[in-house]
Structure 1
Amino acid sequence: MKKRIRILLVEDNLGDASIVQDLLREAEYMHELTTVARVRDCMRLIDDKLVDMILLDLSLPDSDGLQGLHRLRAHAPEIPIIILTGFSDIDTAEQAVRSGAQDYLVKGHLEGNLLHHAVKFAELRHAFRTELEELSLRDPLTGLYNRRGFRLLADQSLRVAKRNGRDSVLLLADMNDLKDINDTYGHLQGDLALRGAARAFKHALRDSDIIGRLGGDEFVALAVEANPPGISSLFARLLEQIEVENTKLEMSLPLSLSIGVAPFSPREAPSLNDLIVAADRDMYEKKREYRRRRDGG
């Protein structure tokens, strides 16, 4: 571990927190230790990207047993968690590991090397698990998130947006005339067109935005901390990138998208499902307009 690892200890017992602090002082790796007494105190630190690993007690003022683990895993599945507890219970330990904990350490048996090794190997195991999970969340054709991956990350992002009072915008896009492209040029060219649309989204949106392919010719994106007035500039960037892709594809049937929009306001805080339904209605109207123009109606 060459980087400084930022460890968050969630422990309300000052004596136990002091013991962990003393043990970590002997560690061979660089680290920063922050201590909080409640699970709810973790959330802002996590949202501000100040946490690399969590050491979690199971008896806290605002959570008991595995409740804290479940809350933290739901909020930040990308952060490895080690359980520190005074209870030596095989069943609880097994449930904790099945629920995503990287290790389960009993305070009464805690000593320096055990804790140091647990931290180092938890990070390695979590990185490996994350890599495997990432593969299961990606669409193999475009490299975008698949339906499962998009929903997982978008749900998490909307929770953060609601808590921080931030707007967001959901885009739902349907590629126009994919069937005609497949029939005219073959499915290989259709796949190239889908990849082109994916590249257009990636270049037009920011790294913090979440982009997915829901399947077939349907794409979705959550523009994080965007607001409705900013949508016109986002559309302009996306259309510009679509034209770039059209010059590469060189098809008489140009690549184009019908895009529906649904804004997220933290005051109303619609669910992801509500946003998708609203954007789908808007996309359907845009699709009808496109077909009228295409068919000269």
Structure 2
Amino acid sequence: MIKVLLIEDNPGDARLIREVLSDTDNQNIALKWVDQLETGIELINKDAFDVVLLDLSLPDSHGMETIISFREQAPAIPIVVLTGLDDEKVAINAVQHGAQDYLIKGQVNSSVIMRSMRYAIERHRLQDELYNLSIIDELTSLYNRRGFFNQAQQFMHVNGQEGNGFYLIVADLDGMKQINDSHGHHMGDLALMDTANILKEVFFDSDIIARMGGDEFTVILPDTHGFSPSLDTFEQEIILKIQQRLHSFNLSAGRIYQLSISLGLFHYNPAMPVTLGELIIQADHRMYTHKKGKVKVL
């Protein structure tokens, strides 16, 4: 079944679209109709839809802003624009702003609209797959560097608006070169995957965990404390959690290497904002302090 949301303020046009869709050979279509953008956005937060048929001239939104507003609220739903305006420049502009197709109301029939919706759903799925490939590290399935900066910038923006702080952690797999030199790069890859799994077990799914490249990882986690512990205190709490998990792993995993992780942590205070790059540098300095104070593990 294809679940379709029609956002159209003209009852006559809405009735025609319903009739066109009822004319299709495949009757497996569920259509819901609303006459305002705000109502449509409220509906997508309560129900799941496969595609939206979106008029650009609504009582509460007009033109490209309609597409932009809908995409901000529902980026996972493909958009097919339905409009009475036959203008190629507007059509191209609509696609550039995120619509998958642009149909003229008076020129659609059942086969045209069904083909457009099916193509829109498939193109959107392929775009999502390509986007995910571009932001995910293939070896560890964590975010890669690009994915990290993408997610982290959004996280900083939202938390900054809400006045919430957060922590950024830089973590290194210790002895990566020695593992590669002594046991081969396939073992180095395995150690990286083991490190990624340790981080996933210690932190939450809602935290941003990434492999930045080589043996370096980053984590962003919200500041959920009702008070402000010192950086040293909270850093030691995180180090202890990871060391406990590493100890269990090294005893039971049967690897020919001992897994060891060094980390540093820094706090972002929205009252004294700094850039993401500056946060990484500060956490990196603390990570190297931790690394230098450890016995080297091969």
What TM-score, normalized by structure 2, do the two folds share? 0.72
Among the aligned pairs, what percent are the same residue?
Answer: 33
Unmatched 5+ residue regions in structure 2?
228-233
**Does 2:128 align with 1:130?**
yes
Query: What is the aligned-residue RMSD (CA, Å)?
Result: 4.0
Count residues with an aligned counterpart.
286
1:91–1:33 CA distance, 2 compared to 1 (3 A): same
1:8 touches 1:36 (CA, 8 Å); kept in 2?
Answer: no
The whole-number CA distance in structure 2 between the counterparts of 1:244 and 1:97 is 52
1:264–1:113 CA distance, 2 compared to 1 (3 A): farther
> How much has 1:61 moved relative to structure 2?
5.5
Corresponding residue for residue 37 of structure 1: 36
| Per-residue Cα deviation, 1:206-256 (whole angstroms, up to 9, x for no partner) | 444443212122223344x67246988877665454445434363555321
1:17 touches 1:35 (CA, 8 Å); kept in 2?
Answer: no
> How much has 1:13 moved relative to structure 2?
4.2
1:174–1:41 CA distance, 2 compared to 1 (3 A): farther
1:151–1:252 CA distance, 2 compared to 1 (3 A): closer
How do 1:126-165 residues align onto structure 2 when only pairs under 5 Å count? 126-156=124-154
Once the two structures are overlaid, the 10-residue window that deviates more, 243-252 or 133-142, is 243-252
1:252–1:211 CA distance, 2 compared to 1 (3 A): closer
> Given the alignment, which residue of 221, 224, 228 partners 1:227?
224
Corresponding residue for residue 54 of structure 2: 56
Partner SS state of residue 294, structure 1:
coil
What TM-score, normalized by structure 1, do the two folds share? 0.73
Corresponding residue for residue 92 of structure 2: 94
- Tell which structure's C-alpha radius of gyration is larger: 2
1:9 touches 1:55 (CA, 8 Å); kept in 2?
Answer: yes
Corresponding residue for residue 231 of structure 2: none
1:62–1:261 CA distance, 2 compared to 1 (3 A): farther
Corresponding residue for residue 120 of structure 1: 118
1:62–1:221 CA distance, 2 compared to 1 (3 A): farther
1:109–1:100 CA distance, 2 compared to 1 (3 A): same
Corresponding residue for residue 68 of structure 1: 66
The whole-number CA distance in structure 1 between the counterparts of 2:17 and 2:240 is 53
The whole-number CA distance in structure 2 between the counterparts of 1:68 and 1:222 is 33
The whole-number CA distance in structure 2 between the counterparts of 1:47 and 1:170 is 31
Partner SS state of residue 293, structure 2:
helix
Corresponding residue for residue 295 of structure 2: 294
> How much has 1:165 moved relative to structure 2?
8.6
> Given the alignment, which residue of 176, 186, 197 partners 2:174?
176
Corresponding residue for residue 199 of structure 2: 201
Corresponding residue for residue 284 of structure 1: 285
> How much has 1:191 moved relative to structure 2?
1.9
1:105–1:152 CA distance, 2 compared to 1 (3 A): farther
Corresponding residue for residue 261 of structure 2: 256
Corresponding residue for residue 106 of structure 1: 104
